[in-house]
Amino acid sequence: MNSGDTTLPNTHAPRAPQGADDLAIARDVLATEAAALNALASSLGAPFIAAVEALLNITGRVVVTGMGKSGHVARKIAATMASTGTPALFVHPAEAAHGDLGMIVRGDAVIALSNSGEAQELAAIVGHAHRFGLPLIAITSKAESTLGQAGDILLQLPPAPEAGPIGLAPTTSTTLQMALGDALAVALLARRGFTATDFRSFHPGGKLGARLKRVRELMHKEDELPLVAPGITMDKALITMTAKRFGLLGVVDAQHRLLGVVTDGDLRRAMSPDLLCRPVEEIMNRSPKTIAPEALAEDALREMNAPTRPVTALFVVDEANMVRGILHIHDLLRAGFV
């Protein structure tokens, strides 16, 4: 050390965490937040029911707002509600005082988030809600706070420590806010009778959109179908089966009702010198797997992948067992399932 250096070594510096410490900290964080979530679930009661009723009865949108980390949570809550049948939007509280209050109109409701309940930036939106008589739902841990007192409905977060060794960073509190927002969104979804079909209309892209498509949207129809009538011998049936390239063959009556199916597996099991001379109904499976046109593609994939008897294609039949199409697993792959 040179004579001009007066810095003394820090003999009390904390030891750098090791891998085992990392796991201990992570588990402590998750345990802390899990305990808080259990406390939140136990605390729900009449105010939550009142909040759901208030949000159901509005004619406008749900405006969700919060500052800082609560603002990030508010954005997610608004997005979740909007995608599950409850029109919603996020309004930044600081921007609200500079013109964005015009986004909040009669018929709307406001959900305001602040763990302390003292975020000054919320004042403009809270005042606006009161002036126009908009339902104001306050989500805070402090019932006696400014926000807690201003709300028409108070959804109070249970007392719980923030996770981690210093217990200061917003962790547990934001997890509780997020979970409570999810609870509201799902309760509203159920009360509105929101279905998987409705959900798909808001999520048309990507793997999720593909899984929520209807079988009728993906199936092959009419001249593409490998169909033969009963009585035909297997030598002729195999020509149709090979030409259509689905790996199976449907046997239908004059009304187009499905009587049975012949697959590659059925051919192997029936292999004999006289196979080509036998009528197709002697080879076919009379209880084949099928799927309805209105079934979700997700259901078709589950049926194809059933561990007891997996298949690569399904005939699509209506209530009268009439063949309407055929769906191959390649159709699901092309639709974006993977």
What three-state secondary structure class fits 262? strand
Positions of CATH 3.10.580.10 in the chain: 215-334
Structure confidence at residue 6 (pLDDT): 45
Look at residue 196 and tell me whether its pLDDT is greater than 70: no
What does the pLDDT look like over 26-60, one tens digit per residue? 999 999 999 999 999 999 999 999 999 999 999 99
pLDDT digits (tens, 9 = 90+) for 295-316: 988 888 888 888 888 889 999 9
Q: Is 133 left (phi over 0), alpha (psi -120 to 50) or beta?
A: left
Q: Where does CATH 3.40.50.10490 sit in the chain?
A: 25-194
User: Is the confidence at residue 155, as pLDDT, over 90?
Assistant: yes
Q: What is the pLDDT of residue 191?
A: 87
215: enclosing H helix or E strand: helix 215-218
Q: For residues 77-91, give the mean pLDDT.
A: 91
Mean pLDDT, residues 245-269: 92
Q: Which helix (H) or strand (E) holds 22?
A: helix 19-43
DSSP assignments along 91-156, one per residue: --HHHHTTTGGGG--TT-EEEEE-SSS--GGGHHHHHHHHHTT--EEEEES-TTSHHHHH-SEEEE
Give the residue-averaged pLDDT of 72-79: 96
> What does pTM read for this prediction?
0.60
Chain CA centroid to CA 73, Å: 18
Question: pLDDT digits over 120-152, tens only?
Answer: 999 999 999 999 999 999 999 999 999 999 999
Q: Looking at residue 17, what is its pLDDT? A: 56
What count of Cα atoms within 13 Å lies in the side-chain half-sphere of residue 108?
26
Contact 322, 256 (CB under 8 A): yes
pLDDT in tens, 198-248: 665 565 555 566 666 889 989 999 899 999 999 999 999 999 999 988 889
Counting residues of the chain whose pLDDT is more than 70, the rounded percentage is 88
Tell me the CA end-to-end span of the chain in Å, nearest whole number. 62
pLDDT score for 2: 45
Mean pLDDT of the chain: 88
As a whole number of angstroms, the distance between CA 269 and CA 115 comes to 68
- CATH code: domain 25-194 is 3.40.50.10490
Q: What is the mean pLDDT of residues 281-308?
A: 90
Fold classified for 215-334:
CBS-domain (3.10.580)
pLDDT at 298: 84
**pLDDT surpasses 70 at 158:** yes
According to the model, what pLDDT value does residue 165 have?
79
Question: Strand 88-90 and strand 62-66: pairing?
Answer: parallel
Cα 291 off chain centre by: 24
Q: Which long-range contacts (CB under 8 A, 24 or more apart) does 25-31 make?
A: 25/164, 25/165, 28/163, 28/164, 29/163, 29/164, 29/171
Q: Which two tokens stand for residue 201?
A: 């209309």
